Structure 1
Amino acid sequence: MREVIIGENDEEQRLDRFLKKYLPKAPNHLLQKYIRTKKIKVNKKRAQPDQILNKDDVLNI
């Protein structure tokens, strides 16, 4: 599992768009599946695809 801390350049971005930028080779349907099946968490809570990321959020992939 990877842990990513959101920096100033990535804040106020939707989670799904950040993941597409951070993991460019991963298929979009796979990223959506991981969000839906609770494999991706923000600050140890289940993530939503339209969730807005803030500076210093901890993203677990």
Structure 2
Amino acid sequence: MSPESLKDGIFTTYSDVWAYGVVLWEIITLGSQPYLGMSNEEVLKYIMDGFHMTEPDNCPEVM
């Protein structure tokens, strides 16, 4: 879920784009779990602190 969805329960086209990006990341990593081992609260803090998922090693340049 996007940061604003986790924080405020707000769902918009921006949160849809965020979710799409996560789905693409999951496809590229063959189903790996994003933010493995982190709670929703930990993910929210991580993202709000300016961090984000890294580009997978096998991600094509066009992505």
What TM-score, normalized to structure 2?
A: 0.30
Name the structure with the higher strand share: 1
Higher relative contact order (CA 8 A, sep 6+): 1
Which protein has the larger Cα radius of gyration, Structure 1 or Structure 2? 2
